[in-house]
Amino acid sequence: MTKKITLGASQLMSVNFYSSAWTDRRNDTKSFATLAYWQEMARVLEAAHFDFLFFADVIGFPSDENGIPAAAIREAVQTPAHDPVTIVSGLAATVDKLNFVVTSSTTAERPFMLARRFGTLDHLTEGRIGWNIVNSDNQTALVKLLGLGEVTEHDTRYDRADEFVDAVTKLWEGSWEDDAVVFDQAGHTFADPEKVHSIAHHGRFFDVEGIFTVVPGPQRTPTLFQAGASSRGREFAARTAECVYMQEATVEAAQTTIRDVRERAARFGRRPDDIKILNGVSIVVADTEEEAASIRADLAAAPSTEALAMHFLGWTGINLLALDASKPLSQRSEFGHSTLDRYEDGPTVGEIIDGLRSSLGGLKITGTPESVAQQMIDMVEQTDLDGFLIEPNFGGPEEYRVFGEKVVPLLIERGFIDEQTEPTTLRQRLFGGSDGHINDRHRGAEFRVSQ
């Protein structure tokens, strides 16, 4: 049986993304702050049979002990970054079948407020919403912006995230029984009080007690995404996520990560197919191999040295421009562990910056429509990958339109993508099923209210 490829489009509500190619003439992100821009994006993605639009997000900006370098503002690296959750209901009203995933931080948020927001969106999107769980890597800026006092140690942030997930799933799953709402106007009874329960969570990081003030939506718990790459991050993903996002650049690396995540999930009593694993990818498609190679070369040449260094600063808190380019990187920080681990073999700071030009964004697929389709299929078949998060190159809806017109029909023809004809919840789109709820093996199932 042919394995179906899940397709997501990875976006940031900004003018810029990993590629830092916003200065290219093909860029079309100037109106990123408008609803109309994202409505057009949603229409293009739905027509191209994408499963969901994924909003990455950052809180803060590249910074160190000296603050934000001017280069970060000049090159629009992780700033501006507008709040994507504000537009999701508008996009859900624009298209019928496309789903939406929004990043939100367990370090910056409070459990009740996040549960309330996503519970409301579950209704407004008719179940087409997912939460990408992050614990926020940009700790230096986060501490200053939110007044957190001090940088939180890496594994402690995951401990907090674990407890955060327990608290929100208690609210989503444990407060309202399925038939609690009766809407009996004559009897002056909106809901049966016997079927609405107060939940109590008292932990190391959070205290939450009371009823949940949002009635259950189509999914109850939004579909859960996560992208931790460290060992602790993979452990969290294996226990929590229904869809894991990774960013491996080779078949061998993808095989290793996928096998590791699935083995960890099994130790939590989950099945391999309980988790969809997607890989980030930059796709360049053109009518000829030569034209595609030329476009890829333009992408590699677009970011300045300053822009590359500012991306690294945002990921790790280390400003490469302030270091001796001829010496190896010796600094560590409390975030960006998976990024820093790549440089343990001792490349110089200058070599790291040069390497970012080709490695920015991870996996790259380049070629004609037939070649691109085959490379995607090969990656799935050789690694047990479930699909791709396709990243923007120059920015704007047009590159997704080209992909949808040139590559997607080939994937449909070969049986790797189904044409979606009816709306479903996001969880049903990914896993099937009749009710769109978390399955019995998920950690949140233990908090279900008894009927």
CATH number, position 105: 3.20.20.30
Q: Decide if pLDDT at 334 tops 60.
A: no
Q: What is the pLDDT of residues 275-323, one digit of tens each?
A: 999 999 999 999 999 999 999 999 989 989 899 888 888 888 788 888 8
pLDDT digits (tens, 9 = 90+) for 352-408: 888 787 666 679 999 999 999 999 999 999 999 999 999 999 999 999 999 999 999
The reply to whether 90 falls in a domain is: yes
- One-letter identity of residue 107: T
The answer as to whether 352 is a domain residue is: no
Q: Which domain holds residue 102?
A: 6-283+364-435
> With bands split at pLDDT 50, 70 and 90, how would you rate the model's confidence at 331?
low
Query: Taking 80 as the threshold, does the pLDDT of residue 184 lie above it?
Result: yes
- Residue written as token pair 């959070």: 206
Question: What pLDDT is recorded for position 124?
Answer: 98
Question: Is residue 322 situated within a structural domain?
Answer: no
Greatest mean pLDDT range, 10-19, 85-94, 101-110 = 85-94
Domain contains 448: no
Q: How many domains does the chain have?
A: 1
Q: Which residue has the tokens 């978390």?
A: 438
Q: What is the pLDDT of residue 138?
A: 58
Task: Tell whether 296 is covered by a domain.
Answer: no
Comparison of pLDDT for 264 and 58, the residue scoring more: 264
> Averaged over 342-346, what is the pLDDT?
68
Model confidence at 144, pLDDT cuts 50, 70, 90, reads confident
Q: Which residues contact 63 (CB under 8 A, 6 or more apart)?
A: 69, 72, 138, 140, 141, 144, 313, 317
Residue 53 resides in a domain? yes
Q: What does the pLDDT average to over 75-87?
A: 94
How far is Cα 103 from Cα 100, in angstroms, rounded to an integer?
10
Q: Is residue 83 part of a domain?
A: yes
Percent of the chain with pLDDT over 90: 72
Q: How confident is the model at residue 73 (pLDDT cuts 50, 70, 90)?
A: very high
pLDDT score recorded for residue 411: 98
Q: Cα separations (Å) of 84 from 58, 89, 109, 409?
A: 10, 10, 15, 30
Dihedral of CA atoms 336, 337, 340, 342 in degrees, nearest 10, equals: -120
Residue 250 is assigned to a structural domain of this protein? yes
